Structure 1
Amino acid sequence: MGEVRIGTSGWVYPPWRGKFYPKGVTQKRELAYLSEKLGSVEINGSFYSLQRPSSYQRWAADTPDDFVFAVKGSRFITHMKRLRDGRELLANYLASGVLALGPKLGPILWQLPPTLQFDAELLTHFFEALPRTTTEAAEVAKLHDHRVDPAHTTTDADRPMRYALEVRHDSFHAPEFLKLLERHHIALVIADAAGKYPLIEEVTADFAYIRLHGHDELYVSGYTDDGLDEWAGKIRKWREHGDVFVYFDNDAKAYAPRDAMALQDRLAD
């Protein structure tokens, strides 16, 4: 039976203040407050720009010992370079401080742009460039260039690295794509995105990764009790085969933390 980690995609949202974050909780304390309620969170600032080692160290220090972070991969790699030149770009990304999370480092999420179609050769090259342990990741990080300063290129222990891939083009509805993920032990992100992007409910690695963007309206709508019950039932089945990570991204009206806690309560048994 796997472990279930439920959280939100990010935690710095002004609309959450006064709704989820009580008055008096400063922005500096928001992560600590969220980590008292949930067991995980996605770091999404790493998607938009390289973070600093000191930021990852601070986030790790602000959370309980058993807390886990998923880290979103750089959009420079996924959207601008479109997965090409993977090894060189990975060095800068990893050196920016990802490994400073230590034992709190969970899966790394790669979100593809909606215009990127299924390309088996492209994906294979990218998957083969991904380091599979933190020790290997530290060696890759040492190849960083001048754009990363200061850099973090060490690991406190040798641990497996986990990766998840979120796709947003209908061409990925293909059996060969699922086989490719399984061959490289990459988790397919099961993404509920109000019908705008593919929803493929397949577990392709030794863990499942779920992103709930809003069932009726992307990033906006909350989940009903029936909807949460349905997801809880699916997660109970998936956890029989490994760990499950679930992140709510319907953040616009502070539904994400509310729904995350409600789903967590349903799976508390």
Structure 2
Amino acid sequence: MNRSAATTTLITVAPTGAETSKADVPQLPTSIEELVETAVRCEQAGASLIHLHIRDSDHRPTLDAGLLRACVEAIRGASDLIVQLSTGGSVHDPLEQRLTVLDAEPDSCSLTCGTTNFGDDVFLNPWPFMVELYRQSIAREVVPEFELFDLGHVHALRRLLDEEGLPHGGRVHVDIVTGVPGGMPGTPAALLAAVALLPPQVTSWSATGIGRTHLPILATALGAGGHLRVGMEDNLVFARGRPVQHNEELVARAAEIATVMQRPPMSTTEARGLLNISRRPVS
């Protein structure tokens, strides 16, 4: 496996997601203005990549092409963060619409490597959809981040790389998502099992712990040489009895822990080098 020991840490912020209601969590950033403000503050706190889900004027998840492009351009104009769009959208979005996310020309996109139970719902990612999304990402020069919710997804990633070759830029970065009801449990043992099975083409990996699994997974990832994803998409509680008030809190804590472990946050320039992502011009 071609992965050198990491001495700095890529911190991804996932600020919104598609599951949490703005009515239930008013501090959740849902407008473009709120997302830009979040991006700027989180970059200052140590994030170098932002993973975006978009909401409409009623705060509902949407894959509206105009809103996607406007958000990408706004964040690109206000920060140097790598802009990654979710191609998962909401679990209710049709597959053909999810493919249109790449029209917004993000730096990166998520590519989930298999179907998984997602709470009471099913997050569909059948093999033909995965292949089509992957081929389109290569053609459009968008760097995918491979999302792995289960050990079967690790095997599917190996098959995808073996059959379709390397992604645009030649680097293979994965995010191991743990703690989703229906996926891998958010335990160190589960995370390390997934890491041990990663195919040799993988050049870097990060980990996400949902909810109360957030901190154990963060600590395990840092100790095992991985990178981090934090944010209100994944975790709404900072500590017992203390809700998260801003994504910046989660980024700053991750940056502090990474620094204590002598793996301080990457700059955006370092992150672009890690993932081989060039900065796209601002429209």
Q: What are the equivalent positions in structure 2 for 1:3-152 lying under 5 Å apart?
A: 4-10=9-15, 14-15=26-27, 27=34, 29-39=37-47, 40-45=49-54, 48-50=61-63, 51-63=67-79, 65=80, 67-75=81-89, 78-81=91-94, 83=95, 88-95=96-103, 97=104, 99=105, 101=106, 105-108=107-110, 110=112, 112-114=116-118, 115-116=121-122, 123-132=126-135, 136-137=139-140
Residue by residue over 1:146-170, the C-alpha shift from the partner in whole angstroms, topping out at 9 and shown as x without a partner, is xxxxxxxxxxxx4x62232354xxx
Q: Could you list the per-position Cα deviations for residues 214-258 of structure 1 after superposition, in whole angstroms to 9, with x for gaps in the alignment?
A: 226xxxxx74xxx4xx6334334234xxxx342232135217543
Q: Residues 236, 135 of structure 1: CA spacing in aligned structure 2 closer, same or farther, 3 A cutoff? A: same
- Helix, strand or coil for the counterpart of 2:184? coil
Could you tell me which residue of structure 1 aligns to residue 145 of structure 2? 163
Q: Which runs of 5+ in 1 are unaligned?
A: 18-25, 138-157, 217-221
Q: Hey, what does 2:230 align to over in structure 1?
A: 247
Give the direction of change, closer, same or farther, for the CA distance of 1:112–1:231 in structure 2 (3 Å limit): same
TM-score, length of structure 1 as denominator length = 0.58
Structure 2 SS opposite 1:162: strand
Structure with more contact order per residue of length (Cα contacts < 8 Å, sep ≥ 6): 2
Distance change in 2, residues 1:188/1:61 (3 Å): closer
Query: Rg larger in 1 or in 2?
Result: 1
Counterpart residue number, 1:198 = 184
Aligned-residue offset at 1:109: 5.0
1:55 and 1:246 mapped to 2: Cα distance? 20
Question: Counterpart of 1:163 in 2: which secondary structure?
Answer: strand
In the superposition, relative to structure 1, how do residues 266 and 54 fare at CA in structure 2: closer, same or farther (>3 Å)?
Answer: same
The letter of the residue matching 1:262 is R
Structure 1 pair 33/9, CA: closer, same or farther in 2 (3 Å)? same
Distance 2:218 2:38 in 1: 27
Note the residue ranges of structure 2 that are not aligned, 5 or more in a row: 17-21, 162-171, 238-242, 263-283
8 Å contact 2:72–2:83 — kept in the other structure? no
What's the CA shift for 1:33?
A: 2.1
Shift of 1:198: 2.3
Using the size of structure 2 for normalisation, the TM-score is 0.56
Distance 1:15 1:80, change over 3 A: closer
Is 1:215 matched up with 2:203? no
CA-to-partner distance for each residue in 1:9-56, whole Å, 9 max, x for gaps?
216964379xxxxxxxx8463432222113232212279212342221
